[in-house]
Structures are given as C-alpha cells and as structure tokens.
Amino acid sequence: MPYTVKSIFLTHQGEGANLGRTAVFIRFAGCNLWSGREQDRTTATCRFCDTDFVGGTRYEAEALADAAARLWPAASGGFCVVTGGEPLLRLDADLAAALRARGFSIAIETNGTLPLPCRVDWVCCSPKAGTTLALRAADEVKLVYPQPGLHPADLSALSAAQRWLSPMDVADRLAANTAAAAAYCAAHPEWRLAIQAHKFWGVP
C-alpha cells in the first residue's frame, strides 16, 4: 500500500531511553486523535500536540525504505524512528521488512490506541486522556504531564521497563509543569523526569 509521509529526516532522538541517538525519522501524516487542523483542536481528543503531520508525499514501501537508507550516513547500524501523527495508521509488515532489509532497527512512537501490526524493535507509548489502550506492553511509556483525566497511576496495568513524565510544553506553563512532574517523580521513583532535548539542541 502507499504510505503518506509528512517528512523524513536524519536527526538525533530527543526523548526517552534513546536520547541522543542518531536516527532517521519517518513522520507519517494523519492521526486518529486530532485532524491536525487548528480549527479542530478544541474538539479533538488530543489538544496539546505540537507536531505538524498534515499533508505530505506518498511512497511505496521499497521507495520509502530507499529514501531512509539514503539518509543514513554509515554502512550498517541503521536506526529508524517511525512517528506521526499516529504511525500505526500506516506502518505494516511490508514497510518493516523493507526497512530491515536495508539494515534498520525500528522504533515506534505511538499513542497506543491501535495494535501493533508487525514486530518492531522498540515501542514508546505515549497515552492520551480519553482513550483506550490497545497495547498491553511497551519498552517505555512517555506520559505528557499533567493531563486532566489521565494520571500516572492509571497506567499501572501497562507493562513497561521505563516510565517517563514529560512536562507539557504549552503557553507559559512549562516551568510549572516541569516542577509538578519533578515533584511526582521524586515521590514515585519508578517514573523518570523527561526532557525534549531536541528543542534545546535546535534540531528537528
């Protein structure tokens, strides 16, 4: 099937356990929790997204994997982060196989509301309030915090080796949200305080 891709680029992972790792990001268009249009934000399930995932270019699986391979600067050890929007609307076994044939390991960043259609090497689940999780396990959970209607304790049934609180970066609330996230992690050390380092680095 064709895949609509908003952007594909080489950068450094700015969050979570793979912080600082060089990666080819494939950002798919589309999401099941928000249209991506500002006029729909107030009625969306997820209202705080800061990512542009509207529009893009259509690829077949082999062509998209070739585009990723052209960006990777080494002969081996490729690392690809599949994101969105919501990448599980797009990712399938054909694309995963094409990426692996070119030497990539595959990480995915998902809201967790859709099942995994194929094997991936690293799953980052970022749950959103007002949704039902289809995933029962992930390698890491990244909860944007605070979210009205979704508390870290609500995710106790989701199995994950690492749990991150990422302070919500909206308007003038980042400092207060960071303090709240830090306080929660200090009281609940199974949670780690996250940072969106790419915003400080000035990379995509």
Show which residues are catalytic.
25, 31, 46, 49-51, 109, 198
Distances, alpha carbon 100 to alpha carbons 25, 61, 88, 107, 144, in Å: 15, 12, 17, 12, 30
Q: Are strands 22-28 and 3-12 parallel, antiparallel or unpaired?
A: antiparallel
Residue in 85, 69, 60 with CA at minimum distance from that of residue 7:
85
Query: Residues in the chain, how many?
Result: 204
As a whole number of angstroms, the distance between CA 43 and CA 10 comes to 33
Residue in 64, 77, 73 with CA at minimum distance from that of residue 28:
64
Which stretches of 31-121 are assigned E, i.e. beta strand?
A: 57-59, 78-83, 104-110
**What counts of helices (H) and strands (E) characterise the chain?**
4, 9
DSSP code of residue 30: -
